[in-house]
A and B are shown apart, each in its own frame.
Chain A
Amino acid sequence: MDHECSRLLPALCAVLADPRQPVADDTCLEKLLDWFKTVTEAESSLQLLQDNPCLVELLSHVLKPQDVSPGVLSFALRLAGIFAAQEDCFQYLEQGQLLLGLFGEAGALSWTAWNVPGVRSGWIQGLRALACHPGALHFLAYSGAVDSVFSLQGDPSLFVASAASQLLVHILALSLQDVAPGALHPEGSTWPACAQKIVGHVEESLRSTASPQVTQALNVLTSTFGRCHSPWTRALWGQLSPLVAHLLERDPIPAIHSLVDLLLSVARSPVFSAAACGLEEMLAETLSRLSPMQAGPLALGTLKLQNCPQALRDQAFGVLFQPLVCILKATSQADGPPGLLDGTVDGSLTVDVLLSSKSACAGLLCQTLAHLAELQVLPQSLSPWPQGPLLDAVVTILHLCDGSEAPTSSAEGRLCGTLVGCVRVQRAALDFLGTLSQGTSPQESVLRVFAILLKSLESPESSPTVLKKAFQATLRWLRNLCKTPGCSDLSPDTLLFLRELFPVLQKRLCSPCWEVRDSALEFLTHLSSHWGGQADFREALQASEVPTLTRQLLQDPESYVRASAIAAAGQLSGHGLQAVPENQQAQQVGAVI
């Protein structure tokens, strides 16, 4: 700390301790703590306290909290934590009973200001900062602080509750980091007191019938297995997994989201393999017990695992594909969609969800499409990837959304009624359709994709957000088709598509919505940057009004559109595709700028 700062510190501490000078600006205190952190990272905290006794005086003053504002109390707790993070400074503060006074049962917990969430948050953050060495662990055990952290897990403030949970994980990891590999059984007395206490609390919570307590325990375990990959985590799972398995036997299963997170966190840990410790059975059991909506994230997470057993993969794929299979079956397209599912999976639950209400149907489809999009780009996706049936399903969904699917069954009729005009599903389907461009598709499927994209782009019903997604999906398909080996030029089908696309683009460039005009211009810019040099493309483009309209949009009343028009005109011009003589265009661009 430089001399000037040291000189200012007593005055600063005096201001903080003076109740007649309330600190009106909490951000000052936050920034002050940032500064103290930087200072203590560079030099000894003990030295800092010895050189600046005003700091200890300030911390001592806070022990009489009737005079102090909650903001300053919280600040002091966090500051004490920052100092006590260094073991010698911790001992110095502990000897002076300062730490017990601040963090012990007679400290912050007994203050009236404890009701203020900021003070509770400061207390936890202070403890989190100091919990860095064995001395701190001993302090946490004898001061009763750990018991208070347990109760703060259920705090009405999300920030406090979350910080309490994270602190428990940190204490557990800190206590066990040096445990000898031979003493790996948590029940034995060889585990440190803090760890035993926390594990005991987690066990008790997992046995509880109260859902919030189960959730808290599961969250602590999720973070533990996510963060710690030491051998002791295996022993911990060995002890707790029967209790977790019992949760699956309850009806209804409590804290489903947290349970899913925990199972995936354990499965992802390098300490475990899915096949070991009964994890595979537990994952399979959970997949089969959850509703289609709840099982989706677990199925995706399972499929993302590095060494997932084949049977489990098949089951997870079944869960993810099920809604699309139901759509295909309902639209009578597939008695058994080849390659998607073998037809043995019972889809009645999924059908119930799809037909129950509009929001449930849209929710399940959007989630499924997003999960599949995420999965498709992964190297460990299903091999062979069922490109054909998935394309069929997504095209069918888009037809259901635009109302062009003629219902042939009552289920299809219900689906039509539910999905028609559903922008949310349309957007998700177009996103997924764009992702599917990465796979290899037969010519027939490509033509179907072009047809539905063209339809989405020209439909007067398409909202600006749907059009934006449609433009993005179109671009991805065009790009990926031209990446095909031996296909450097535009294929006749692609060229035909482009010829049909430009009149649609023309229409969109004249849209009354600035969002649509802008998306169309962005699309044109990308198109031109890719194919501006190709003769066929140039010919098709120049046969349309698109270059002229682009020029006109340089005068658009909306500045965003003008900016995009400049980019598009620049791109066209770069390829010699401008509709007017270059000097005239330069004048126009100059006028706009």
Chain B
Amino acid sequence: MPELTGAGQDVGRSCILVSIAGKNVMLDCGMHMGYNDDRRFPDFSYITQSGRLTDFLDCVIISHFHLDHCGALPYFSEMVGYDGPIYMTHPTQAICPILLEDYRKIAVDKKGEANFFTSQMIKDCMKKVVAVHLHQTVQVDDELEIKAYYAGHVLGAAMFQIKVGSESVVYTGDYNMTPDRHLGAAWIDKCRPNLLITESTYATTIRDSKRCRERDFLKKVHETVERGGKVVAAGRLGMERMNLKVPIYFSTGLTEKANHYYKLFITWTNQKIRKTFVQRNMFEFKHIKAFDRAFADNPGPMVVFATPGMLHAGQSLQIFRKWAGNEKNMVIMPGYCVQGTVGHKILSGQRKLEMEGRQVLEVKMQVEYMSFSAHADAKGIMQLVGQAEPECVLLVHGEAKKMEFLRQKIEQEFRVNCYMPANGETVTLPTSPSIPVGISLGLLKREMAQGLLPEAKKPRLLHGTLIMKDSNFRLVSSEQALKDLGLAEHQLRFTCRVHLQDTRKEQETALRVYSHLKNTLKDHCVQHLPDGSVTVESILIQAAAHSEDPGTKVLLVSWTYQDEELGSFLTSLLKNGLPQTPS
């Protein structure tokens, strides 16, 4: 069912194609921040070899605004040519174009890259977006419906349930099962999907409590500041309760805009923020000022919060480059960094970095990793699987080795199959679709007349004729079916010949058969008809002379399919011969 174009056993370039009950849905359309060429986007030619993408795909769903989930969207819709609907939540719709535009500026205006989308393309792409509310069931067409659930992670992040008839898939995107300072925890109801596609970035990690991590973070900041160093905290880190007497800045641009959107979509934040917002705006920090590029050269200690968190571009990278050479300084990385980014390199222990133009940057500053990343850890993933109760689980957005550990854990604990396909692999899952069938009133009445009242919990066998018309199924009595379809009834009879050693005349043999059956089958209606034949229910028995052997009589037995069991029983009975009678 799902086919992975990106983010199979890796992080970056999330793009999953799900085919469910004849509908094709693309989940996320991300880019890989570790590449600067064609490899940055998923290879969409694998989606369909023939036909137009717009005809093939029923919709695209974007889980949240991070570029590894939406970065290829304008390329896909405006350059590859997808012209269908794109679904995302309202906050994602608001923030997505800002990040896309920011990335476009870096790639095209600063690095001069070609084959990249333009600002107009970002706008045209965003015009194709249909924004959805949480828990709102959106009917994409008559058969396909989607529903968004809260995912935590970042503002507007959502998990999506995709449903066609009785079949469903849940795609989590990135999510966080523990609330943080700004956002709540992910939640989903017991929707029992056929498949749960879950991220597994921290498949083997069990993290300390948030409070411990914050305490450690503050301790490290204090130590650095005391020795006269500067701190650059990349990405999403708490900005309050620093209790420091040195200047604290946040980078303008993205951070400022992000705060604006947190205010705008206050209902998406956690309860605490919503409550306190009436008295005080939690995003207005008294002691924290906007950062200016010139401040980076100021002497003395300072703390700067700057984005992006993976140091792949923008202000955090600029500051990092300036301060990397001084061992007194510190950079704090808040979470997972995609391969190929500066963040990933320094977290892997690399101390010499090749920057643009073959410049080598020596990293002498302290590099610290504090997992503030808003991904579910192993415990959280298990919790979500337990909540949704899926029939199967598919792990994506993680690293193969870690995923393998989690896969085994899920299979052991929940007794469900768990898959972890690599990029480009297709996983096919059989499902048992339940097809709604209407029952005719006549058939129901007949059943009721037999005194059997329907019970909700006890399945009952009901005989009838199934009529399929205009994609509808209807169970009716066979008589009704014949009438509806304008068909004449044909009767099918099974026949069998039984040879009996009997020298008597045919009529006498028939009489002997009648007496034998009358004695044996007391519960059935056995009749001897004037023409000499014998009937038992619908079964007809006639005696005839054997053409070659006068001492043998041939019994011709015939019955309808309704009396197949009785007919077969009678044939075996007669084959055993008739009881001896005095001659």
Contact = CB atoms under 8 A, between A and B. Distances in A.
Interface in B23-82: 32, 34-35, 39, 46, 49-52, 54-55
B494 to A, nearest CB: 32
A402 interface: no
B313 to A, nearest CB: 15
A233 B422 CA distance: 37
A31 B85 CA distance: 36
Interface stretch (B338-346, B429-437, B473-481): B338-346
Contacts of B126: 515, 560
A367 interface: yes
A136 to B, nearest CB: 26
A26 interface: yes
Interface string A29-46: 011000000000000000
B10 interface: yes
A367 B123 CA distance: 26
Contacts of A117: 422-425
B489 interface: no
Nearest to B338: A27
Given A117-B422, A370-B55, A25 B50 contact: no
A38 to B, nearest CB: 13
A25 B344 contact: yes
A158 B39 contact: no
B208 interface: no
Most buried by A among B10, B51, B348: B51
Contacts of A519: 127
Contacts of B49: 219, 257-258, 261
Contact of A424 (B32, B84, B339): B84
Contacts of B83: 427
B422 to A, nearest CB: 5
A181 B582 CA distance: 98
Contacts of B143: 359
A258 B50 CA distance: 8
B425 A158 contact: yes
Contacts of A160: 424
Interface centre among A30, A258, A356, A427 (most CB of B within 10 A): A30
Interface string A560-572: 1000000000000
A464 B127 contact: yes
A28 B340 contact: yes
B84 A367 contact: no
A12 to B, nearest CB: 13
Contact of A366 (B10, B55, B142): B55
Contacts of A99: none
Given A160-B424, A257-B51, A356-B471, A465 B141 contact: no
A297 interface: yes
Q: Tell me the dominant secondary structure on chain B's binding face.
A: loop
Interface in A168-211: none
Nearest to A561: B123
B470 A356 contact: yes
A260 B50 contact: yes
A157 B339 contact: no
Nearest to A363: B55
A313 interface: no
B471 to A, nearest CB: 5
Interface residues of A, number: 41
A518 B3 contact: no
A469 to B, nearest CB: 9
A25 B425 contact: no
A227 to B, nearest CB: 16
A468 interface: yes
Given A24-B348, A25-B344, A157 B424 contact: yes
A157 B55 CA distance: 24
Interface string B329-341: 0000000000110
Given A261-B49, A356-B470, A25 B340 contact: yes
A257 B127 CA distance: 32
Given A25-B344, A27-B339, A356-B471, A261 B50 contact: yes
Given A261-B50, A465-B127, A515-B127, A118 B425 contact: no
A23 to B, nearest CB: 9
A156 interface: yes
Contacts of B345: 25
A488 to B, nearest CB: 30
Interface in B109-126: 123, 126
A495 interface: no
Contact of B423 (A159, A297, A367, A424): A159
A231 to B, nearest CB: 28
A116 B127 contact: no
Name, among A30, A158, A257, the residue most crowded by chain B CB atoms within 10 Å (CB to CB). A158
A156 B339 contact: no
B243 to A, nearest CB: 36
A26 B32 CA distance: 12
B128 interface: yes
B426 interface: yes
B127 A518 contact: yes
A358 B425 contact: no
B128 A156 contact: no
B114 to A, nearest CB: 17
Contacts of A31: 340
Given A465-B128, A518-B127, A157 B425 contact: yes
Interface string B341-372: 00011001000000000000000000000000
Contact of B422 (A118, A357, A370, A468): A118
A219 B423 CA distance: 22
Interface in A354-385: 356-359, 362-363, 366-367, 370
Contacts of B54: 366, 370
Contacts of A585: none
A162 interface: yes
Given A30-B39, A359-B142, A465-B127, A24 B425 contact: no
Contacts of A24: 339, 344, 348
Interface string A116-143: 1110010000000000000000000000
A357 B470 CA distance: 7
Contacts of B422: 116-118, 157
Nearest to A23: B348
B339 A26 contact: yes
A26 B348 CA distance: 13
Given A158-B3, A465-B128, A518-B127, A25 B424 contact: no
Interface string A332-372: 00000000000000000000000011110011001100100
B50 A297 contact: yes
A162 B48 CA distance: 12
Nearest to A159: B424
With most chain B CB atoms within 10 A of its CB, the pick from A27, A28, A358 is A27
Contact of A370 (B10, B46, B52): B52
A370 B32 CA distance: 32
Contacts of A366: 54-55
B12 to A, nearest CB: 9
A555 to B, nearest CB: 18
Interface of B: 3, 10, 32, 34-35, 39, 46, 49-52, 54-55, 83-85, 97, 123, 126-128, 141-143, 339-340, 344-345, 348, 421-426, 470-471
18 contacts: A25-B339, A25-B344, A25-B345, A117-B422, A117-B425, A157-B424, A158-B3, A258-B50, A356-B471, A358-B142, A363-B55, A370-B54, A370-B55, A465-B128, A515-B126, A515-B127, A518-B127, A560-B97
Interface of A: 24-28, 30-31, 116-118, 121, 156-160, 162, 219, 257-258, 260-261, 297, 356-359, 362-363, 366-367, 370, 424, 427, 464-465, 468, 515, 518-519, 560
Given A25-B345, A370-B52, A370-B55, 10 more contacts: A27-B339, A28-B340, A30-B39, A156-B426, A366-B55, A367-B51, A424-B141, A468-B127, A518-B123, A560-B97
Chain A to chain B: the 5 pairs with minimum beta-carbon distance, closest first: A27-B340, A159-B424, A27-B34, A257-B50, A25-B339
